[in-house]
Amino acid sequence: MRSHAVVALTVVLVAGLAWTCRTSIEAAVRPPKLQYQASVLPNGLRVILSEDHSTPIVHVSVWYHVGSKNERAGRTGFAHLFEHMMFKGSKNIEPEAHTSIIASIGGQSNAYTTEDTTVFWQTLPQHYLPLALWMEADRMATLRVDEDAFKREREVVKEERRMRIENQPYGSLTEIIYDHAFTTHPYKHPTIGSMADLEAASVADVREFHDTFYVPENATLTIVGDFDPALTLQLVTKYFGRVPKAARPVPHDIPKEPPQTKERRVTIEESWPLPAVVVAHHITYDGHPDSYPLHIVGKVLSDGQSARVTKSLVYDKQIAVSAFASGNIEEDPSLFYAVAIVQPGHTTAEVEKALIEELDRLKREPISARELQRAKNQFARDYIIGRESIQEKGLHLAHGAVIHNDITTADGEFDIFQNITVADVQRVARTYFTPENRLVLVVNPKKNGGAR
Amino acid sequence: MRTGHLHQKGHATLARRAALALFAIVGSFAMVSAQAPDRTKPPVPGPPPALKVPAIQKRTLSNGLPVWIMEAHEVPLVQVNLVVLAGSADDPAGKFGLASLTSAMLDEGAGARSSLEIADTIDGLGATLNVAGAVDSSGVRLNVPVGRLSAALPIMADVALRPTFPAADLARVQDERITSLLQTRDEAASLAALAFSRVVFGSTHRYGTGTMGTTASVKALTREDLVAFHKAHYVPAKAALLIIGDVKPDTILPLLQQHFGSWSGKGAPRASLPVPPQVAKRRIVIVDKPGVPQSQIRIGWVGPPRATPDYFPLEVMNTLLGGAFSSRLNNNLREEHGYTYGAYSMFDLRRVAGYFSAQAGVQTDKTAEALREFFNEFGRITTLNAEELSRTKNNIALGYPAEFETTTQLSRKLEDVLVHKLPDDYFDRYIGRVQGVTSEQVQKAALRHLDPSRFVVVIVGDRKKIEAGVAALKLTPAVEVMTVDEVLGR
């Protein structure tokens, strides 16, 4: 306890030193605003163009506003499995040719699926931009669906599940947390899905999914890099303009999670080397005014070694091997969770108490002005680094457009964060970190189990 | 949380802390678009744009410390890397893990600040300060908004030059490393990598043990060991400062002189690591992990040093074989057979030798089939046509500019030039040298650097389920078994 006080005092002194030069440098910390133009084609495709001539490359992404939360019961994992099928050829492109063509011109391409979106992207030498547009439009309009290719790809996805989730200590922790925290909303199930549901998926499902969700009005095309916007918009119109509108409106009817009214406590066993403790709370959606202070809370608790959770559990008390806390801020209300891996010789009860104490402290007393400023500086750092590469710029623009339905947030959030007060942080802690809104999950190692 | 098509990083790793040409082209298409668009054929590209890497501006501080500066003014950031030319290859016998532990301890107390004070001040500035320990080099890397550079530099200098290695923090970090090694027992992919190194290089050569060392060697390291390693290797004569970002040499040099200019010390000459002997004959080794859902396969042997004259042919050959998603190995094992989420190969080229390794995590019940396909691909590596060669070279050469986008990327490229003593015009000549590789050079490089009849095969998997199938391939007279303790021990 004594050394604690000494540390705190020194921190104030150090802070004082660092702070003396703050006013003169603050101006230099904000990055230049993103320059872009946004438009919508007659078929509903949203198009975002942003020039950056610093490197002779261009990044092209297509976001489809469909993710694992759009899956129906019995088909978990399908959005992601479908993402793989988008590489199995279209009318004018052979199966798997998309990736090899991009590779053969020195480009990189990939795709990923989240709970909310499915994103296809490529970064390539600027003179090949027309090729990327041609290929993306071709698979949006004319995907091939082949039974054998589908079955083979299903095996690849099952192997992906084994690699990421099952053959990885703590790999399934996130899916265990969400399974216990949710009752109704599809965030309950993991994006990778279950083996049984993957096995049950059929080629008919693939066709229906493409017809329903892979339509221009559900897509956002973002191009960032070294190109001429006027000429590029003509090219976009040429290749994507002919993709027909969907026959019916895109469904976005996702069941809501009812409010949790009493604490949930769960204890399970997994074949992991050390016990884990999770304290999770339901929070609001991405873009809600409370989501920004919650992001700051995550930084105060666990961005950097001197952040509260890390400092308290790993350094001071030395009861955890590692610990973190952060909000998983998504399109629909999701979770803020704190996790700690228990240091051998200590108990899960000690660790649970310490995690809850850190959350309670945020409710009891405001964070210090210095902690708030540090979190804002860390946010500014993330923000600037997030504007270095064209891929990151594209990500922020598309995220604003698709998730917030407001592209201006790609830049506007900088000011929202810089204006957050300590009172905002205390208010959101009091709103969400209540016992009745909480899940406490304890995962013990299996006795004699596991693959030792 | 994201689930990807290729190889994205996992989402919850808890235990670890991580036109002119265009105008012409588009113009002609814009004219075509007035007529009926033709969707059946790919658009034809124009000539590739030129790569313009900022010049390396070389300066020297008064104590002889080299400073290399690359200006990049797109965002108000600066990256400052202090690179020390010593790494785990310089670990003394019996003290494996010393270089790695020394670098990890740099920011656990330095100058007048404690571990948490360093972290708190750096976090407060919105900066990132990393300490890094690799095989051939170590270092401290600072990334900071340019306006806060003058506040962050003194801390960086303390961390690199004046670490205090407090006893309590050293004990904590040693415990963390021992726990981490314990966790490795359950991480099939990490275990496979360590087992592969152990079989290829043996337990006495430095390369046969992970950079962190073993539980026993980590436990045995003392504060005196760290102080001695730091004194011997962290000296201006064996280091350089790399600066990349929104700065000008004239403004940053006085700052660097102030914080690094009086650094002194002669250090010790660099000991030369023995060149590891090549694998004598093919071996198959199973590390038994009952119940694991996948087999992790690693195949390979000792590779050439980074200075090999075959560097460019090797780069092309490996990209053809398994360096990219569309390479032969992944095409075979993933796309044709669905055995794996991804199959790859790589050369890890170091100052002294290195290794070649091909790898995949495969379905348990397809382990033997996957192994057979690996060897099928090795067997046909010298068969290639002009079209495939050109596609492969374009993959590397046309993709090169994208590796120079961010200050962090630029700094890593510069570190390579420094550590491996590459020529100043290396970046400018790179694309031409890749494009100049012939199929004869690729074939010769393959014959010289790959001999599947002498490759080591390591499989971390469920022995009961895989051994019979693997043995039936008759790749070797017998299948050996290695315990986890043998992989991680000594």
pLDDT of residue B37: 54
Please identify among residues 426-445 of chain B the ones whose CB lies closer than 8 Å to any CB of chain A: none
Query: Which three-class secondary structure state does DSSP give residue B108?
Result: coil
Q: Is residue A82 part of a domain?
A: yes
Does residue A259 sit within a domain? no
Q: Does residue A203 belong to any structural domain of this protein?
A: yes
* Confidence category of residue A64, pLDDT binned at 50, 70, 90: very high
The reply to whether B464 touches chain A by the CB within 8 Å rule is no
For the cut 70, the answer to whether the pLDDT of residue B377 exceeds it is yes
Which residues of chain B lie closer than 8 angstroms to A377, CB-CB?
Answer: 123-126
Q: Same structural domain for residues A283 and A151?
A: no
Q: Is residue A365 part of a domain?
A: yes
- pLDDT tens-place string over residues B293-352: 899 999 999 999 999 999 999 999 999 999 998 899 999 999 899 999 999 999 999 999
A119-178 pLDDT per residue, tens: 999 999 999 999 999 999 999 999 998 899 899 889 888 888 887 777 777 888 999 999
Greater model confidence, B17 or A269: A269
Of B43, B122, B183, the CB nearest to A130: B43
pLDDT confidence of residue B2: 52
pLDDT at res. B3: 55
Residue A319 within any structural domain of the chain? yes
- The shortest C-alpha distance from A392 to chain B (Å) reads 11
pLDDT at residue B38, as a whole number:
66
Structural domain ending residue among the three candidates A177, A205, A240: A240
More confident of the two residues A12 and A266: A266
Helix (H) or strand (E) holding B177: helix B167-184
Residue A205 and residue A289 share a domain: no
Residue A14 has pLDDT above 70, yes or no: no
Nearest in space to B242 (alpha carbons), one of B132, B135, B400, B164: B132
Span B111-147, pLDDT tens digits = 999 999 999 999 999 999 999 999 999 999 999 999 9
Enumerate long-range contacts of B332-335, CB under 8 Å, 24 or more apart.
Answer: B332/B373, B332/B376, B332/B377, B333/B360, B333/B362, B333/B370, B333/B373, B333/B374, B334/A156, B335/A96, B335/A152
pLDDT digits (tens, 9 = 90+) for A342-370: 999 999 999 999 999 999 999 999 999 99
* Judgement on whether residues A350 and A216 belong to the same structural domain of the protein: no
- Is the domain of A235 the same as that of A295? no
Answer yes or no: is the ipTM higher than 0.95.
no
By C-alpha distance, the chain B residue nearest A391 is B405
Say yes or no: A107 and A172 in one domain.
yes
So what's the pLDDT on residue A447?
A: 75
Q: How confident is the model at residue B46 (pLDDT cuts 50, 70, 90)?
A: low
A7 within a domain of the structure (yes/no): no
Every domain of chain B and the residues it spans: 7-21+52-260, 283-487
* Phi and psi based region of residue A448 (left: phi greater than 0; alpha: psi -120 to 50; beta: remaining): left
Rounded Cα gap, residues A308 and A316, in angstroms: 10
Q: Which helix (H) or strand (E) holds A264?
A: strand A264-270
Paired tokens of B245: 């970002």
Instruction: State yes or no: pLDDT of B34 exceeds 90.
Output: no
pLDDT at B398 over 60: yes
Question: Which own/partner contact pairs does B444-450 have at CB distance under 8 Å and 24+ positions apart?
Answer: B444/B310, B444/B313, B445/B310, B445/B313, B445/B314, B445/B317, B446/B317, B446/B381, B446/B382, B447/B382, B448/B310, B449/B303, B449/B304, B449/B310, B449/B314, B449/B317, B449/B347, B449/B356, B450/B356, B450/B378, B450/B381
Predicted pLDDT at B21 = 25
Across the range A239-244, mean pLDDT stands at: 93
- The per-residue pLDDT for range A108-119, each reduced to its tens digit, is 999 999 999 999
DSSP SS3 for B454: helix
As a whole number, the mean pLDDT across chain A is: 89
Angle of the A348-364 helix axis to the A422-432 helix axis, nearest 10: 130
Q: Is there a domain that residue A370 lies in?
A: yes
Asked whether residue A13 is assigned to any structural domain, the reply reads: no
Query: Could you read off the pLDDT of B445-472 as tens digits, one per residue?
Result: 999 999 999 999 999 999 999 999 999 9
Instruction: Tell me which residues of chain A, numbers 139 to 198, contact chain B at a CB-CB cutoff of 8 Å.
Output: 141, 152-156, 158-160, 162-164, 166-171, 173-174, 190-192
Nearest chain A alpha carbon to B148? A25
Distance CA B358, CA B315 (A): 14
Instruction: Indicate whether A288 and A395 sit together in one domain.
Output: yes
Closest-CA residue to B17 (of A393, A433, A307): A307
CB-based contact B324 A237, cutoff 8 Å:
no
**B4 close contact with A: CB closer than 8 A:** yes
The average pLDDT across A179-202 equals 94
Confidence of residue B271 (pLDDT cuts 50, 70, 90): confident
Instruction: Domain of residue A140: give its range.
Output: 37-240
Under the banding of pLDDT at 50, 70 and 90, the label for residue B42 is: confident
Total domains in the fold of chain A: 2
Q: Which residues of B touch A324 (CB under 8 A)?
A: 14
The residue-averaged pLDDT of B99-118 equals 97
pTM, to two decimals: 0.84
Instruction: Give the CATH number for residue A403.
Output: 3.30.830.10
The CATH number given to B7-21+52-260 is 3.30.830.10
- pLDDT on residue A12: 29
pLDDT tier, A308 (very low <50, low <70, confident <90, very high otherwise): very high
Q: pLDDT at residue B60 above 90?
A: yes
Give B143-185 pLDDT, tens digit per residue: 999 999 999 999 999 999 999 999 999 999 999 899 889 888 8
Q: Given this chain, do its domains B7-21+52-260 and B283-487 carry the same CATH topology?
A: yes
Q: Which fold has domain B283-487?
A: Cytochrome Bc1 Complex; Chain A, domain 1 (3.30.830)
A 422-451 residues inside an 8 A Cβ radius of B: 450-451
Give the number of other Cβ atoms within 10 Å of residue B20's Cβ: 10
Query: What confidence score (pLDDT) does residue B32 get?
Result: 34
A315 shares a domain with A228: no
